[in-house]
Amino acid sequence: MLNLFLNTTDNFLFSSVKNIFEKTEKNYKKENRDFNLVQELQKFQAEPLGCMLGKHSKFEKNIKIQVKILLGLFFVLVPLVGFSVVSYILSLKLTYSFLLTFVVAILVASRMDEIAKRYTNTRATELAY
């Protein structure tokens, strides 16, 4: 059961990251902006959720903002609402819903490193051909 949940979550995250990269690449190519995709993939693999302050490219900032919004919506907001409803129905303290949401967010953030490596390896092999 846990493996099914992890596989479903990983596939969702992988396809979402793939879509985010494809849309951003398409926009940059359409606007004739210069970017080095191989370098951007390496940066994303090194720090998929890293801070965006400092000397980062606009491409990297765009990707990371979209990934963080995705994670925030699907793995913080939705679990928080769900756990809050369950807490209300079971007459539990609301603190439990925040703690469980925090656990879910930490687990997904740790899985994001693996997803970033998997995506960058897949994309690098596509670029090699």
pLDDT digits (tens, 9 = 90+) for 49-64: 887 666 778 888 899 8
What residues contact 80, with CB distance under 8 A and at least 6 apart?
A: 97, 98, 101
The yes-or-no verdict on residue 83 having pLDDT over 70 is yes
The domain ranges of the chain are: 2-128
pLDDT digits (tens, 9 = 90+) for 26-41: 999 899 888 888 888 8
Residue 34: its pLDDT value, please?
Answer: 84
Residue 52: its pLDDT value, please?
Answer: 64
Per-residue b or e along 45-76, where b marks 16 or more CB atoms closer than 10 Å to that residue's CB: beebeeeeeeebbebbebbbebbeebbeeebb
With a pLDDT cut of 70, the percent of the chain lying above it is 98
Q: Give backbone dihedrals phi and psi of 52, rounded to 5 degrees, phi first.
A: -110, 15
Residue 17: its pLDDT value, please?
Answer: 93
Per-residue b or e along 92-128, where b marks 16 or more CB atoms closer than 10 Å to that residue's CB: eeeeebeebbeebbeebeeebeebbeebbeebeeeee
